[in-house]
Structure 1
Amino acid sequence: MSEQFTTHIHDNGVAEVILDRPPVNALNAAGWQALAREIAALGERPEVRVIVIRAEGRGFCAGVDIKELATTPGLIVDVNAGNYATFEAVHLNKVPVIAAVHGFVLGGGIGICGAADIVIAAEDASFGLPEVDRGAMGGAAHLQRMFGVQKTRYLFFTGEMIDAAEALRLGAIERVVPREQLRDTAFAIAAKIAAKSPTMIRIAKEALTGIEDGDLEAKYRWEQGFTLQAYMSPDSAETRHAFVDKRDAKF
């Protein structure tokens, strides 16, 4: 449990993790660390058969707390560790993880979706990695797990967003539904999975993860090294300060 998210385990074995840190669900270093521990622990509980991650508020997740990093740049190491642990906890969880997203899905929100087994999106959802404009790196490995190489590079270099309809067309997400149906749709899918043999589903999860191309965690760790390199640049500091000051960055 954390002040930045809540957890409920329902009678049918579906665990619900709800991000709730107004105004934009940008978690701080401690929040990412706590989220990682919670998701990993849920997968170890025998009564949990499926995990649904969703959010309250204006959007699913805006990533890390840029204001925290602007005032305390040294926390980048802790934030990186929390991000890595969270995405790993989702990707390598012992049970299927469903991300039910709405509004903006940015940065760490992309990491969660790219690590998840199934992504359900509301019609108002939009996906993007504005890392270059925030003086950071990371998340492209997870974005590339959703989209192809060329689309990932276009989105990363430009910082543009892609809407739910286009994400569905490109096969990045399972389905798009009206916002008011998002939770029910995710829970209907979760219930269908939860009704199956938990032993078979856990075996299937491990087997499917094992046949993926490449090592998602290793790819993301590679990216994180460049995040630290980026943070050593004056341009990185300028992007963060410009974001906090709500002005255009000057280079």
Structure 2
Amino acid sequence: MSALAVARAQGLFHLVGDGWPLMQAGRRRGGGAGGAAGGPRAAQRGAVGDAVPGRQARMRFDGWIVGTGTAAGTRVVLGHWARSPFGRFSDVMVERADGHRLLLAPSRRTADFIAATYAFDDVEVTPVAVRVEGRHWEITAGPLHLRLTTGRRGPTGRLLRAVPAPLAAHPAWTAVTYPPARLLLGVRTRGSAGAGRREWYGALDLLPVVSATTVYGGRDQGPSAPVAPPVRFGFGSAPRRPSAVRVVTTVAVSGP
């Protein structure tokens, strides 16, 4: 059954036009996660957010989530956002082998918002630099220096790209994606977050991370490894297999 047929069967397809003008330019084609079509620059076409009368305001973050583990047990999750209520920015969540959770964010505003949504032991406001050239990523933030390379898109990535982008990015679509995401990737696509917020993850693409070099606190963390045990920042976690996921994250925030 096609994605459109599933959406119609679930009664979701009509929701695409109800005030969520996500990815109006349509599907990206081609290349990897860099400046080529389908990479972070393509994410700039997403909408930022809106308020629904009588409901929580919904804030949308359009970009990539990259997760990788290390032989030393340090796990890293990067959020690389081309469109957001805070403009373009990147943040890094690090969980050490001893369970200590650190947020690295580029401004006090982004740090406060993320820290209220997820759980950390420490928060550091520091420049977060992300450089992407084709399949190669370089991330520098505080004590972290990470280089990684993504591989060719696999069956999961091709399946995600087959779903029309406005539908895939809509929170209601998570009713369809939640079961397979939980079963196949070990992640949840919707749930409760901190400060009474709700959150939805709409995945549009997935690329494997085939190699990574992580230096944390001046120490080499060894070769890339699965993100295991799962990180404990929030319900969404990250796939066990190191990967870069093209995503639209929606956060419902209560008003003052």
**One fold, TM greater than 0.5?**
no
Return the structure number with greater strand share.
Answer: 2
Return the structure number with greater helix share.
Answer: 1
Per chain length, whose mean CA-contact separation is higher, i.e. which structure has more relative contact order (CA < 8 Å, sep 6+)? 2
Q: TM-score, normalised by structure 1?
A: 0.26
Q: TM-score, normalised by structure 2?
A: 0.26
